[in-house]
Amino acid sequence: EDQVTQSPEALRLQEGESSSLNCSYTVSGLRGLFWYRQDPGKGPEFLFTLYSAGEEKEKERLKATLTKKESFLHITAPKPEDSATYLCAVQGPMFSGGYNKLIFGAGTRLAVHP
């Protein structure tokens, strides 16, 4: 069964304390892996897409990496404004009409304290 598991469920960091969030997946025929940021009361906001093992993408203090079974979101020297829930999703099997289903993990709630 296609599945996405994110860990940890919650993470508390001090400002400047680097860490990584994990997204492990099982899907038949990965077509893409997406990272989103979600602030309280808001919709998910797109961060990165990764397509193949070994690929890396960076944006400010965030770097996403991909292997054949998991992805990591590395946060370097985080600031309080990085506090949010980070969602991982994989693009899996195609539905009718060419629509690729997105399978989401439950997310990691990150809190960065000054």
Partner 1 sequence: NAGVTQTPKFQVLKTGQSMTLQCAQDMNHEYMSWYRQDPGMGLRLIHYSVGAGITDQGEVPNGYNVSRSTTEDFPLRLLSAAPSQTSVYFCASSSYGAEAFFGQGTRLTVV
# binding residues, partner 1 (CB under 8 A) = 28
Nearest-angstrom CA–CA distance, 82 and 85: 9
Q: Is 106 in the site for partner 1 (CB under 8 A)?
A: yes
Q: How far is the CB of 95 from partner 1 (least distance, A)?
A: 6
Tell me the two tokens of residue 54: 């070994």
Q: How far is the CB of 18 from partner 1 (least distance, A)?
A: 26
Q: In what order do the strands lie in the sheet with 70-75?
A: 3-7, 19-26, 70-75, 62-66, 56-59
The residue (of 66 and 103) whose beta carbon lies closer to partner 1 is: 103
What 8-state DSSP symbol labels residue 99? Answer: P
- The pattern of x and - marking residues 25 through 64 that bind partner 1 according to CB under 8 A reads ------xx-x-x----xxxxxx--x---------------
Q: Is 105 in the site for partner 1 (CB under 8 A)?
A: yes
The Cα-based distances of 91 to 16, 62, 74, 84, 95 in angstroms read: 33, 21, 21, 22, 11
Strand partners of residue 26 = 3
Return residues touching partner 1 (CB under 8 A): 4, 31-32, 34, 36, 41-46, 49, 87, 89, 91, 95-107
